[in-house]
């Protein structure tokens, strides 16, 4: 990569929306994202998104491929590796560095649209991470519900971008009322699951709008992600009865969505179809 290309790439990333957009594509990995899913995640209009994608594409930082009716965008990993190599060339006058720059895995650049590549393997257990800002109510209930309903085929976790000091008492009371185990539930930071020794996630599902708009860590293993947003029941302050109704409604919606998720024939769905199913489940309330 020459100096002009480096300047163009850095200029393309030197804008908040484009930086967030590129981060989303890096997290998605070889699976890529459709413009619709990116617009939903960033809260951007189609016009704004198209403008920023063109800038990133012109800088060589994203690739686009048509799959059926969909345009799939992916981060261009090789140019990013070249950019990092350019910036760190001759670092420390050739002496070993304490903090060696970590380049993005070049194997992510290879993507073949074969059935084997696009189809999830029939795994003995699927790991699912539920994300919410405070990890005190919605994501906690989702974790407990999936572990209860998953029949040993799913292992659920939860975390938050700004975790609370404790799990909301109403969430614990509701789970106990439905005879769902609450042992071991606690609020934790999502960075825990971005560590190299963390469980490899197959799915990362955001259950609140605020967390969906934040730039997530890079999850090991490039899990499938979707947004299942719903109102925060803890925000209801009018009366204990209304608070209980709000938590019960969230529990009902989560139970319905998780039941739909468990009914999916995961090994038989290619990733594009599975992504569509997950997004549709995220809009299901009844």
By the 8 A CB rule, do 204 and 256 touch? no
The kind and range of the H/E element at 279 are: helix 271-282
40-69 tens-digit pLDDT: 878 888 888 889 999 999 999 999 988 777
Q: 126-282 has which fold?
A: Rossmann fold (3.40.50)
179-201 tens-digit pLDDT: 999 999 999 999 999 888 888 99
Q: 3-111 has which fold?
A: Arc Repressor Mutant, subunit A (1.10.10)
Distance CA 119, CA 138 (A): 30
**Tokens 């979707």, residue located:** 226
Instruction: Produce one character per residue of 241-274: b if its CB has 16 or more CB atoms within 10 Å, e if not.
Output: eebbebbeebbebbbebbeebeeeebeebebbeb
Nearest to 71 by CA among 25, 28, 34: 34
Mean pLDDT of 128-145: 95
Domain ranges in the chain?
A: 3-111, 126-282
- pTM of the complete model: 0.59
CA angle 34, 103, 217 (to 5 degrees): 50
Same fold? 3-111, 126-282: no
């Amino acid at each position: 990569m020459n100096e002009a290309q480096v300047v163009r790439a850095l200029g393309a990333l030197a804008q908040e929306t484009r930086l967030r957009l590129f981060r989303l594509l890096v997290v998605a990995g070889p699976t890529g994202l459709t413009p619709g899913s990116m617009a939903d995640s960033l809260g951007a209009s189609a016009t704004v998104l198209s403008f920023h994608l063109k800038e990133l594409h012109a800088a060589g930082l994203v690739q686009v491929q048509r799959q059926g009716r969909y345009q799939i965008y992916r981060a261009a990993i090789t140019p990013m590796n070249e950019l990092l190599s350019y910036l760190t060339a001759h670092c420390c006058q050739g002496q070993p560095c304490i903090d060696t720059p970590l380049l993005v895995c070049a194997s992510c650049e290879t993507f073949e649209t074969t059935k084997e590549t696009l189809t999830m393997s029939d795994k003995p257990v699927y790991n699912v991470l539920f994300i919410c800002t405070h990890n005190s109510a919605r994501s906690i209930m989702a974790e407990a519900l999936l572990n209860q309903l998953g029949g040993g085929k799913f292992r659920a976790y939860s975390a938050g971008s700004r975790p609370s000091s404790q799990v909301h008492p109403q969430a614990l009371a509701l789970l106990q009322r439905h005879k769902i185990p609450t042992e071991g539930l606690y609020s934790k930071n999502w960075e825990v699951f971005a560590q190299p020794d963390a469980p490899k996630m197959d799915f990362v599902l955001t259950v609140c709008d605020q967390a969906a708009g934040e730039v997530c860590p890079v999850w090991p293993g490039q899990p499938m992600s979707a947004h299942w947003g719903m109102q925060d029941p803890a925000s209801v302050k009018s009366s204990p009865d209304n608070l209980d109704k709000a938590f019960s409604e969230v529990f009902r919606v989560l139970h319905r969505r998780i039941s739909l998720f468990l009914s999916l024939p995961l090994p038989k769905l290619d990733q594009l179809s599975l992504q569509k199913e997950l997004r549709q489940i995220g809009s299901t309330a009844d």
